[in-house]
Amino acid sequence: MKKHKGEPKKFYGAKPLKGTPPHRGRGFRLHSVSNSSGAKKAVQRDEVRLWLEDSDDSWKVAQQNFKLGNYHIAAFYTHAAVEKILKAAIIAFRRKAPMKTHNLKALHSEVADEVELSEEQQDFLGELTPAAQIAKYVDAATVVPRDIYSKRLAERYLTAAQPILKTAKKRLQS
């Protein structure tokens, strides 16, 4: 394999995702490391840190777009923030790559014992899940996404997502 500038050394246990240029920092998945468990744990910590940072970035984008009146974008990035923090939890607690899905309830079910949510919060995950598609694609709802998400709805999403993000982050940092 040809080395690219910025590519992690092989012993770190990271390998590029299929179709992702090796020099892109976020295009890596965990895989087995044969040299020591310490190297694997280091990779997992780094992967969790990247997912947490990306979740924080998505959360900021959601809040900024809410303030700008882009409620459909706020809904989409609220979903993204929750999805990314749940994927970080899966890596941290299950020590495996998260499944490729936008289904928040399915992701949470993998770490429900570690990231405890109320029934209401779990129901909210089911309500927020479609925002990954509806807020982004015209054909998902057959109307322009901005016409679906009102200020009130986006505000409710932000308000309901915040304690979920805090709970997961607190658990990951403990």
Q: pLDDT truncated to tens, each residue of the chain (174 aa)?
A: 444 455 443 333 334 444 444 444 444 444 433 345 555 565 678 999 999 999 999 999 999 999 999 999 999 999 999 999 999 999 999 999 999 999 999 999 999 999 999 999 999 999 999 999 999 888 887 889 999 999 999 999 999 999 999 999 999 988
Give the residues across from 29 on adjacent strands.
15
Compute the distance between CA of residue 74 and CA of residue 155 in angstroms, rounded to an integer: 9
Cα dihedral 167→171→173→174 (10° resolution): 130
Domains and CATH numbers, the chain: 44-173 (1.20.120.330)
Compute the distance between CA of residue 50 and CA of residue 85 in angstroms, rounded to an integer: 10
Give pLDDT, residue 141: 79
pTM for the full predicted model? 0.77
Closest by CA to 115, choosing from 146, 99, 94, 138, is 94
Give pLDDT, residue 60: 98
Closest by CA to 160, choosing from 138, 136, 127, 131, is 127
